[in-house]
Each structure stands twice: as structure tokens, then as C-alpha cells.
Structure 1
Amino acid sequence: MSGEPVSTPHPPRWLPELLRSAAMARAFTLATFGAVFASYAIQWLAGPVTFITIVAGLCVVGVGMLIARRHELSFLRLVPISLLVFVCWVLLSIVWSTSPADTVTGCIALLGVAVIAIVIGHVRDTLQTVRALGDVMRWLLSISLALEIVIGILMKTPVHWFGIEGNIIRLGPVEGIFGSRNMLGFVAVIALVTFVVEWRTASIRPGLAVFSVAVGGVMAALSGSPTVLVVAAAVGIATAALFLVRHVRAHDRATVQWVLGAVVAVGLGTAYILRHQIIAAAGSDFSIRANLWRVLSIYVRYHPVEGFGWFGTWPVEQYPFVSINFTLDKHYTTALNAYADLVLQVGWLGLFLFVAMAGIALIRSWLTAGERRAIVYAWTPLVLVALLSNSLFESFTLSGAGWLMLVVLMVRAGQSRSWRERLDAASADAVLPAEE
């Protein structure tokens, strides 16, 4: 018996072909967008363990897809360097975290979503990604609207499925299946950008496009989210600027880009200088946020460079979050500002790395969209603008659907105007035979 050769099990021959197939790539993308954007509904129905299991399963399948496609992929272009640096700093924060166990949990959540986002970025092109996200958004927003109508109008006895309060009969605010009006508003704005790009690229029938935009607009309005108008305005201004860039003559484009960059820099600087007046004029909702940020800034001074360690969503029983909530007599689970959350958790250095990471992706995608005629290239910078402007008022971009979208967009932006693209081109030229 000992002399017999030991057989090594091999995967079935059909498995690599399945993992490489276009149908599998589409199914994976739909499942990922559906699971992550519906995470609140999944956890309400089946608990957090079910959602964690779904994400873990998607990670396993996604890694298998990358392995099956390893001959099609460039290792140098697999992950943006800026993303790697930021994630490494987040992982390093385990060393000085006030609660290492919670930081490990937060890091695993961050990495899990990043992995499936990287897979989407490599197995789907931009138009395919837009189509998959549009399909998912249509279903989720339509289901949200239907449930709001059933619970808020048709049912005599009020129930609170998925946390829905049934306020649609008073024209809002509504939450849909997303857990809060602000999350619904955030999803609706991203959906509207996606639906319009689908429409302009003739990816879907005109009737379906009109229905999609109508549902997205209705849900954005009914959400009553105070951040929707700000984010929508930011996306609208970015759209107008991009339209201008795309329609100027090629030799004038660089000048226009520099002028727009200067205007944005001056605008951001002016807004920061007048931040107190802006908050006072914005109303009570923004004043509540400002009060939270004021208290949070006190704790930032204790660890300004490195922060208290990465947690993602706050474990409210841990320091300093328990102290912040005690001081304010509230139960916040985020800083209601992604940038403030970054400073608190991974310090000013972490904020710098995040801004550099997102800024590089925005600049790359903006320049690409300005030069290429296809309207689909506008989707990446416009959704990035929505994410980054929404981050001023919510921390959605640091976890869940917001983080998923940010990483997908970074991978898409990193596949053009990158030093690795030029390196790949140089390598290809080097192996070509010299002409006689």
C-alpha cells in the first residue's frame, strides 16, 4: 500500500471555464451589488451572520475567478498602489488601537468588500458595470417604493417591516429597505447618475429608462434627506463642467481644466473659511452634525497623527466613541462625516492617504472622460463626485455600499492614465520583432 502513488485531487475541468465565463462575471456582479446595497434588508430578515456569510462566499468565488483569469490579468494593474498604501495604514492601526479585536473586525470587513470590488473592476468593463448596477438599483428602489406604498397607504394596521415608518402618506421622509432616509437619498443619487448614463448610451429601452429615472427621482425627493440637494447640486455642477470640457477644442482643453481646478480650489477654500456661517444657514440638521464634529475634534487632539485605530462603524461601547456619545447624550455610530471619521480613527495621515487615493482616481477618470467621446466614461468621475461630496455629511464611503463603489471606481480609473499602463505598453513593444 505504501508504494502506491498518492493521487492529488484536481478540480473538475468545467470549473475553470465556468469561472472565466462572461455569464459568471455578470452573475457575480449582480449578486455583489444586490447583496451589498441590500445589506440592511438582508440583516433585518436573516441577521448579520447571514450577510457576513454571503460576503465571505462572494470573496471565495471572486478570488477563484481571478485565479481562473490569471493569464488575462496584469499583476501590476490588479490593485491601485494608492489603495494598497491606505489599506496597509489601516491594518497597521491594529498595533496602537484602543481595542485591537474590534479593529481586526473592522479591517476584515474593509478587506472583504474591497476584494469583491476589485474582482468586479477586472471582470466587467465600465458599461457592463453600469448595466449591472442599473439593474440592481431598479429592483431595490422599486421594491422600496412598493413597500412604502403598502405599509404607509394600503395597510390599515401600521407595521414596521425593514424599519419603514410609513411616512409616504405625508410625502416623507421615507427609508425604503435601506435603513435610513440619508442612505436612501445617497443610493437614489447614484442610481440617477447610473440611469441617465444607461439612457444616453441606449443600453436599455427608452420606456424602461424613463421609468428608472422617475423612480429614482421620486425616491430621492421622498427621502427628505438634507444631503440629497447638496450631493445632487455637486453632481450637477460636475456634469456641466465635464460637458464644457468635452466640447472645447482639444488644444484649449488643458487651459480649461486648469481654470476649473483653480475655481474648485478657491470654492473649497472659501467654503472652509465660511463653514460656520454655512452651517448656521443650513438649518438644524447640519447644526447637529457641527456639534458632533466639535466634540469629536477634542478627542482628535490626543492622537492627531495615527488616530485611535480603525473600526469602521463605531463599536459604541469602546473608547472614545462611548465618551463622545455620553457627552452629547446621543447614540451615534459614525461621525456623520467620512473625513472626520478618518481623522479620528486613522489620524491626519490616514485622511491624507484617503484623499490622495480618491483624488488620484477622480483626476484620472475626469481626464479620461474629458477626452473620450463615449458618454459612459462620464459615469466614473460623476459617481466619484457624488461619493466624495456625500462624505462631507455621512460616513457611507468608509464601509458597505459606499466603500464597494469607491474601490470599483478606483480600479476602473486605475486602468487608464497609470504608470503601469505605460509600463505594460513598453513591455509589449519590447517583445515585438523589429521591422526589417
Structure 2
Amino acid sequence: MSEPGAGRGLGGLLASAALARAFTLTVFGTVFGSVAIERMAGRVTYVTIVTGLCVIAAGMLAARRREISFVRLVPTTLVLFVGWAFASIFWSSDATRSFWGWVSLVGVALLAVTIGHVRDTLQTVRALGDVMRVMLGVSLGLEILSGILLDTPLTFLGIQGDIAAFGPIQGVFGTRNLLGFAAVLALITFLVEYRTQSVRPGVSLFSVVLGGVIAVLSDSPTVVVLAAAVGVAAGVLAVVRHATPHRRTTLQWIFGAIVAIGLVAGYIARHPIIAWLGAGSDFSTRANLWASILIYQRMKPVQGWGWFGPWAQSELPFWAVNFSAGQSHASGLNAYFDVLLQLGWVGLVLFLAFAGFAFLRAWLVASERRSIVYAWTPLILVALLVDSMFESFTLWGFGWLLLVVCAVRAAQSRSWRDRFDDAENGGSALPHVPGG
């Protein structure tokens, strides 16, 4: 990585560490603050900012072209998934909207790929931690202003002002579920900061308390599930990390089998679990929507209806799904169902391969490397993939941004591309995971 001030002129600036840090902070701030930006300044403003960042990202990658191996630039499975989404434009009901939906997908992915190459894992964690402290702090401040000091909703931000009744609150994220999701991601980041001692203990304590308070006040049913999933994953990872190398593989298989059994048991006992979480109405809403999605998915099972990203509610099949469900939704409330509807079984297989290889690589790296910072990537992926069962946040916005960042970071450590390095250097890299 280039040192600060390396080189002169525009090329030196684009390759500098100072710009890389500023770029990462700006990208996280922009994408995590997209709802607030759009509601205060409009969609055009947000798109303009992201477009400018994409231009800078392309310039940074070009300036660092001697440092970055072309074959390591992007995971193969990401290329295949994005490529299939582009192909779907040709059978979409509205090619223009599909094209711009695809451009949005690629634009955020470009920002994520750039962060993955100009910042290491610890630097990424620190940048995200700094941004989330501001985002959650502003959210809590605005909720206090709305619900306690002014006692009136801030409708232009979607804040209902219910903090005096202990929630639900929305903050600058627009909905309680998105706020709760962001709070869980922030808590993972804050705890990794604490374990790596990358910020002062007082800042760490404040951050964790802030994240915990926001998560509770969001009153999002998915927060409990996410917290439980991440907590279990963290405990399992700790056991694996402390095992001797010759026992580690056995433990991995044992825990993998336990997870599989747990998923089956969770599905069988889903109704008591839903009742215990008090999420019966939420799940009923989702169940009706998913049933409607499957009806229209069967009409185009292999290729799907075309990629749009967030639903264009005036287009087929989205208005028909909402009409059939008797509701109005801007997504499938499940990333996997959303991909299945828009990109068919081919798209879903590619998405699962992309996310699955990313998680597998990240988990294996975290289980072998000594530094706790490597645990951030698989734990963030656990949160993203579990939340994808209840929301479609992982397919756009900061969910998609973090998914691609984590996939790029994991692919840099374990990849079939290591064979090229072995051939060139005559050495051996970490055991690779075949695939994307």
C-alpha cells in the first residue's frame, strides 16, 4: 500500500493513504446515510454523490494498478452474479429501469471493491466504527429532540418521536428494522475495535452502550435473532481459534453439523419461536408475501423477471405480487426470495455461491489467524446472511456494500488465484477454497 504523500501530482494524490482513508469514511457515511440524504436533499443528490465517488474509486484503482493484481481484483462469483443481473435486462418488463437498477448495483460494488483494495481489515473496521458512532449518535439525538424536547414527529426523516415510550425508533435510517440491522453491524464493529484496542477504552465503552441502546429502542424483532446468531457464531469461532491445528478440522465439521441440525430444528419449531419473539404479525405479513412471490416466480423459474433492485411497484411482477398479497411492499422482505423472483434459480444459485464462498473463506481465515480483527469479516457476514431471511437489505445500500467488502477481503486471503502466486513465487499460500 502506498505511503501518505507517495508520488506527486494527481496520481500521487489518488494513490495516497490519506485519500484512501478519507474515501472510505465518505463512502460509509454516504451509503449508511442514504435515507437521510435522499429525504433531505433528494434522490438526485444522493446519486450525484455516489457517481462522484465512483469516478474517484476508478481513479484510485488506476493509480494503484501496479499494486493490484488484475485476477485478484474482484471475486469470480461476484462477476457472475452481476453479469447475470445485466443479462436479465434483456427479458425485463422495463429494460430502462432494470438497466439503472443494475448500474446502482455495480456502482456500490465498485465502491466496496475499492475499499477492499485500498484499506486493510483493521483500517476498514476503524473507518466503519467512526462513521457508525456518528450515525447512531445523530439518530439518538434526533429521536430525543423529536420525542422528548419537541414532542412532535420529524416526518421528513420518518422519525415518529416514540422514544419516550421506549420505541420503536427509526433514527436517520427511516425504519426500525433498518436501524436495528445497522445497530447490530455497529456492535460487531465496536466489539472488534475493543478487542483490538484500536480506540480508547472509554470510546469503546460509549460505542457499545450506544449501539446496545439503539438496538433495544429500535424494537425490531430481527435484532434478537441477529444478536443470537452472531453471538453463537462468535462463541463457536472462539472455540475453533483456540483449538490445536490437528483438532480444528474435526471441530469445524462438528459445528457445521450442529448448525445444519439447528436450522432444521428451528424450522420445525418456527411457530413457537415466532410467538416467543412476539413477531407473529410480522411473520404472517412475510409469509403472505412470500407465498405470492412463489406464484409469480413459477412463471419464469429459471431466468426470473429481470433485475430491478428495490421494487418498481408499477412494473410486473411487483404490483401483481402486492395485489395478490393484499399489501404494499418495496421489497420481498427476504433477499433470497427477492433474488429468486428477479433473477430466477440461476441468479439465486450464483448469489448463494457468492455469499457462501465469501463466508467460508472468511471463516477459515479467522479460525487460523491470530489477530481477532479477522473475526470481523465472518461475523458481519453472519449478520448479513441471517438478516437476509427477513429483509432484502443485503441486496442494496449498505448491506450490499458490506457484503462485497467482506467478499473482497476474504478472497484476498484464500482464492484459487493463489495458484498464480505460487507459480510465480515458487511458494505456497494458505490452502485455497475452490470457487469464486
Same topology, TM > 0.5: yes
The match for 1:148 is 143
For residue 157 of structure 1, report the CA deviation from its aligned partner: 4.8
Distance 2:176 2:273 in 1: 22
Query: Are 2:177 and 2:222, in contact at CA under 8 Å, matched by a contact in 1?
Result: yes
The match for 1:392 is 389
Letter in 2 for 1:363: L
Q: Does 1:177 align with 2:181?
A: no
Query: Are 1:151 and 1:160, in contact at CA under 8 Å, matched by a contact in 2?
Result: no
98-107 vs 61-70, which deviates more? 98-107
The match for 1:407 is 404
Of residues 67, 89, 92, the one that matches 1:72 is: 67
Letter in 2 for 1:240: G
Give the TM-score, by structure 1 length: 0.94
The match for 1:6 is none
The match for 1:285 is 282
Q: Provide closer, same or farther for how the CA distance between residues 59 and 176 of structure 1 changes in structure 2, counting only shifts above 3 A.
A: same
CA-to-partner distance for each residue in 1:312-335, whole Å, 9 max, x for gaps?
000000011111112233220001
Of residues 368, 378, 381, the one that matches 2:378 is: 381
CA-to-partner distance for each residue in 1:375-401, whole Å, 9 max, x for gaps?
000000000000000000000000011
Distance 2:8 2:237 in 1: 48
For residue 269 of structure 1, report the CA deviation from its aligned partner: 3.3
TM-align CA RMSD:
1.5
Query: Are 1:62 and 1:116, in contact at CA under 8 Å, matched by a contact in 2?
Result: yes
Mapping 1:1-400, distance limit 5 Å = 14-273=9-268, 275=270, 282-400=279-397
Query: Are 2:152 and 2:161, in contact at CA under 8 Å, matched by a contact in 1?
Result: no
Query: Are 1:152 and 1:168, in contact at CA under 8 Å, matched by a contact in 2?
Result: yes
Secondary structure of the equivalent of 1:93? helix
Query: Are 1:279 and 1:290, in contact at CA under 8 Å, matched by a contact in 2?
Result: no
CA-to-partner distance for each residue in 1:39-93, whole Å, 9 max, x for gaps?
0000011100000001100000000000000011101100000111111111111
The match for 1:9 is none
The match for 2:3 is none
Secondary structure of the equivalent of 1:415? helix
Gaps of 5+ in 2: 1-6, 428-436
For residue 133 of structure 1, report the CA deviation from its aligned partner: 0.2
Distance 1:317 1:304 in 2: 21
Q: Provide closer, same or farther for how the CA distance between residues 158 and 232 of structure 1 changes in structure 2, counting only shifts above 3 A.
A: closer
For residue 279 of structure 1, report the CA deviation from its aligned partner: 5.1
The match for 1:426 is 423
Distance 1:331 1:279 in 2: 23
Q: Provide closer, same or farther for how the CA distance between residues 297 and 238 of structure 1 changes in structure 2, counting only shifts above 3 A.
A: same
Distance 1:111 1:160 in 2: 31
Letter in 2 for 1:113: V
Distance 1:409 1:58 in 2: 19
Larger radius of gyration: 1
Query: Are 1:198 and 1:204, in contact at CA under 8 Å, matched by a contact in 2?
Result: yes
Q: Provide closer, same or farther for how the CA distance between residues 405 and 356 of structure 1 changes in structure 2, counting only shifts above 3 A.
A: same
Distance 2:210 2:268 in 1: 38
For residue 275 of structure 1, report the CA deviation from its aligned partner: 4.9
The match for 1:8 is none
Distance 1:376 1:210 in 2: 18
Distance 2:269 2:351 in 1: 24
Letter in 1 for 2:112: A
For residue 277 of structure 1, report the CA deviation from its aligned partner: 6.3
Letter in 1 for 2:230: V
Distance 1:130 1:156 in 2: 36
Query: Are 2:151 and 2:161, in contact at CA under 8 Å, matched by a contact in 1?
Result: no
Gaps of 5+ in 1: 1-11, 431-436
For residue 213 of structure 1, report the CA deviation from its aligned partner: 0.4
The match for 2:434 is none
Distance 1:275 1:220 in 2: 23
For residue 98 of structure 1, report the CA deviation from its aligned partner: 1.7
For residue 337 of structure 1, report the CA deviation from its aligned partner: 0.3
Letter in 2 for 1:217: G
Give the TM-score, by structure 2 length: 0.94
For residue 423 of structure 1, report the CA deviation from its aligned partner: 1.6
Query: Are 1:160 and 1:166, in contact at CA under 8 Å, matched by a contact in 2?
Result: no
Query: Are 1:138 and 1:212, in contact at CA under 8 Å, matched by a contact in 2?
Result: yes
Secondary structure of the equivalent of 1:419? coil
